[in-house]
């Protein structure tokens, strides 16, 4: 399986880079993981709704350029479905049973994702109603993907 994680903006915090590197290394026995950062747009402090829409559209276009035609796309969105880890593990397994070998996760920038990116998604997932920095969400996502594989293996890691 190939897993792509497309994110908006550069990750600057070393502690997050270290955590992501650790889980990416652990995941390497199950899948090839590709972390792809697309440039974010500078958002004016008091941006209008039209400016925000334009910024999301630009970021969305950059994201869509990185999505493969046959990728199974999962976007992280507040309106997505909330799943317990066991159900997420089943979902990841079902994706491969359905014949997909490329899974792409998308984490938007501070303004979220454009409607076009959300429309391209095969599935929308939410990790809860709390607002988390999108940089921290990268680490949470990589850990949950690793957890899903460990659950599939029957590992005590999940306990």
Rounded to a whole number, what is the distance in angstroms from the first to the last CA of the chain? Answer: 25
Residue 24 labelled as part of a binding site: no
Residue 132 labelled as part of a binding site: yes
SS3 call for 11? coil
Residue 113 labelled as part of a binding site: no
CB atoms within 10 A of CB 95: 18
Residue 130 labelled as part of a binding site: yes
Residue 139 labelled as part of a binding site: no
Residue 129 labelled as part of a binding site: yes
Residue 141 labelled as part of a binding site: no
Residue 63: burial class (beta carbons within 10 Å; 0-12, 13-18, 19+): buried
Residue 128 labelled as part of a binding site: yes
Known binding-site positions: 76, 108, 127-132
Known binding-site positions for S-adenosyl-L-methionine: 76, 108, 127-132
């Amino acid at each position: 399986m190939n897993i792509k994680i497309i994110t908006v903006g550069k990750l600057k915090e070393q502690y997050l880079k270290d955590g992501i590197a650790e889980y990416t290394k652990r995941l390497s026995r199950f899948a090839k993981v590709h972390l792809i950062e697309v440039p974010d747009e500078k958002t004016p402090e008091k941006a209008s709704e039209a400016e925000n829409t334009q910024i999301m559209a630009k970021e969305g276009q950059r994201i869509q350029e990185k999505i493969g035609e046959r990728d199974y796309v999962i976007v992280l969105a507040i309106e997505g479905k909330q799943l317990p880890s066991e159900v997420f593990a089943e979902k990841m397994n079902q994706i491969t049973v359905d014949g997909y070998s490329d899974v792409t996760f998308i984490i938007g920038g501070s303004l979220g994702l454009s409607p076009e990116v959300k429309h391209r998604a095969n599935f929308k997932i939410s990790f809860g109603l709390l607002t988390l920095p999108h940089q921290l969400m990268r680490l949470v996502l990589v850990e949950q993907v690793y957890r899903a594989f460990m659950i599939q293996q029957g590992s005590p890691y999940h306990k």
